[in-house]
Amino acid sequence: MSLATAVVIGLLYGLGTYLVMQRALTRIVIGLALLAHGANLLLLAAGGRAGEAPIVEEGATAAYADPLPQALALTAIVITFGVTAFLLALAYRSWILGGSDEVEDDVEDRRIAQLGHGQRQ
Amino acid sequence: MKLLLPLPVVLPLLGSALSLAFHRRVRIQRWIGVVVLVGTLVAGVTLLLMIQESGSASTQIGGWPVPLGITLVADLFATIMLAVSTAMVLVVLVYAIGSPTTADEATFFHPVYLMLAAGVSASFLTGDLFNLFVAFEVMLTASYVLITLGGRAEQVRSGMTYVVISLLASLLFITAIAMVYASTGTVNLAELATVMPEIHPGLRQAIGALLLVVFGIKAAIFPLFFWLPDSYPTAPTPVTAIFAGLLTKVGVYAIIRTQTLLFPSDGPSTLLLSIAGATMLVGVLGAIAQDDVKRILSFHIISQIGYMVFGLALFTVAGIAAAIFYIVHHIVVKTTLFLVGGLIEAETGTGALRRLGGLSHTAPLMAIFFLVAGLSLAGLPPFSGFVAKLALVQEGLALDRPLVVGVSLLVSLLTLFSMTKIWAGVFWGSPDEEPPGARIRATSRRTMLISTGALVTLSLLIAVAAGPIYELSTQAAVSLFDPGHYVATVGSR
């Protein structure tokens, strides 16, 4: 793995992690997309050095690139793409219903917050 | 055998496509669903019987040699899970057809539901880490659609959490796969089993921990469970029931599979034992604080997962056998409890304990169903939960782990308390507030009662046939303890 690939993967994971921890849904979606890119690059990097296109020909002896991680990355890209699209649709639905882009508190948190609020008064 | 092995995956997939073609004809969709799932169940049970008779089997889809092709492996553990889960999928489908408020009539319920079934079967049968990821995604993507079916505001809110957490877990899974491939050059489970012991121990531990986190999120073990009690109760009852019965158990299956095959341990694992204890305790304490039937039951899923991890953490044949028996018992009983919860909601229009009461007079059959399943969950004799917990406790004591055994007994007691709470709130006394009233037709009520009754009978059968089933679990655990057996199965095409 070259240093550049390693740095890019690290950056993608770092930025993705940062964005996933935000409260706005769009940022989370973008963060997940970045994480997905990072993971796919890592898959590619796991295949080792780049080489010839892995098409077997008679008498060819050149070092082939490992095709398996590429196939895996392709599958992973399709899956994360589909789920991200679904997530965007869900975020849009949430915006239509609630008018906000924020992740809402879960029911329990809200109830506990109310309890605490009641006690203070 | 070569043809039979892919059937539990292929049948629901084809059914799903066919069902989609008839997307405006609910009646035809229902028939497709039932017929396909009966076929899958027959295939699953036949597979179980054949495997028990003749040992594990494997096949390569497309006929490519081992590390390249798509490997399907059926050993006893996988087929036990397959048979039980398919039975649940079928019964819950019948329940969904009868159910008044769902979703059965929504255009895409049936195709997506069958897709979920295909994903679950594929997760059990796959012999390849990457295909496990794909099977998980098939199952999860179907579950994303099902959990937000209807698109109400609270469903979108909780569904959002569910999707984000699951997607994050999936990305971690890809990361783990990349690490595995970089360090070993294969993702085939059988090959990994032979190569894994040779790589650097630090690397092996890192990969093991990463996979444990990935599957732990799916299985909702401590401390990765927060998404579950928030998202499950908002979905329509049949969906919640099938999620409660199956999805987390697929995570547990993956944990047991990878931990026994790739990261075998010599003795009890203190890390897993502490996770198990914390999962049991936190789950049951969460349940006690709730006052809605479905939310109470959702928290109990977590606490029950702890028992299964407990069995695995002991790393002995008897411990894992107990865990497998526990999973079988739990899948049936938990699904039953959610179905009864759905019946209560259909009968009265609410699941809030303070608005319920006196149902033992108006709906005695429901009360009996709940009593059997609830007492079984708490682990009272003579029900199946008792056998499962007894096996775990005995093995825990034999290995001299009194602390976690004590926790498990305490949690059983608290489970009983929380079941009593539902019982007293729903079936005895009178409601504090007027319930909204029934929204159910007589015919659909009958369908729901019959399917729930079938599951109650099944759970009683597990208790009656505890001996043979436990023997089967032991047989499965013995083969889990011998990775060489798994490797040989895949190697001998």
Per domain, the residue ranges of chain A are: 3-54+65-120
Comparing CB atoms, the residue among B134, B158, B181 nearest residue A75 is: B134
- CB–CB contact A40 B153 (8 Å): no
Is B230 an interface residue toward A (CB < 8 Å)?
Answer: yes
Is A30 an interface residue toward B (CB < 8 Å)?
Answer: no
Q: Which chain B residue is nearest to residue A111, measuring alpha carbons?
A: B290
Is A68 an interface residue toward B (CB < 8 Å)?
Answer: yes
What letter would DSSP give residue B73?
A: E
Q: pLDDT value at position B442?
A: 66
- CB–CB contact A45 B164 (8 Å): no
Query: Number of structural domains, chain B?
Result: 1
* pLDDT value at A22 more than 80: yes
Contacting residues of B for A90, CB less than 8 Å apart: 148, 156, 159-160, 163
CB B180 within 8 A of CB B168: no
| Residue B1: inside a domain | no
pLDDT in tens, chain B (493 residues): 677 888 899 999 999 999 888 877 888 888 888 999 999 999 999 988 888 888 788 888 777 777 677 888 888 899 999 999 999 999 998 888 877 655 555 678 888 999 999 999 999 999 889 999 999 999 999 999 888 887 777 888 888 888 999 999 999 999 999 999 988 888 888 888 888 888 888 888 899 999 999 999 999 888 888 888 888 888 888 888 899 888 999 999 999 999 888 888 777 888 889 999 999 999 999 888 888 888 888 999 999 999 999 999 988 888 899 999 999 999 999 999 999 888 888 877 777 777 777 777 778 888 888 888 888 888 888 888 888 889 899 888 988 888 889 999 999 999 999 888 888 888 887 776 666 666 666 677 788 888 888 889 988 898 888 889 988 999 888 888 888 888 888 874 3
| Residue B409: inside a domain | yes
Which of B133, B146, B155, B157 best probes binding to A when mutated, by most A CB atoms within 10 angstroms?
Answer: B157
Contacting residues of A for B175, CB less than 8 Å apart: 39, 42
CB B89 within 8 A of CB B117: yes
Structural domain boundaries, residue B84: 7-491
Q: pLDDT value at position B2?
A: 74
Question: Model confidence over A57-116: pLDDT tens digits?
Answer: 776 666 777 888 888 899 999 998 999 999 888 888 888 887 777 776 666 777 778 887
| Residue B191: inside a domain | yes
**CA A8/CA B248 separation, integer angstroms:** 34
Q: Rounded to a whole number, what is the distance in angstroms from the first to the last CA of chain B?
A: 12
**CA B252/CA B221 separation, integer angstroms:** 9
Is B161 an interface residue toward A (CB < 8 Å)?
Answer: yes
CATH of domain A3-54+65-120: 1.10.287.3510
CB A67 within 8 A of CB A52: no
Contacting residues of B for A93, CB less than 8 Å apart: 148, 151, 156
- CB–CB contact B178 A42 (8 Å): yes
Which of B141, B148, B156 best probes binding to A when mutated, by most A CB atoms within 10 angstroms?
Answer: B156
Q: pLDDT value at position B493?
A: 38
Q: Which chain A residue is nearest to residue B166, measuring alpha carbons?
A: A83
Question: Model confidence over A30-44: pLDDT tens digits?
Answer: 999 999 999 999 998
| Residue B29: inside a domain | yes
Tell me how far CA of residue B110 lies from CA of B116, B146, B200, B389, B469, in angstroms: 10, 10, 47, 36, 32
Give B172's contacts (C-beta < 8 A, 6+ positions apart). B210, B213, B214, B217
**CA B374/CA B362 separation, integer angstroms:** 19
Look up the pTM and report it. 0.91
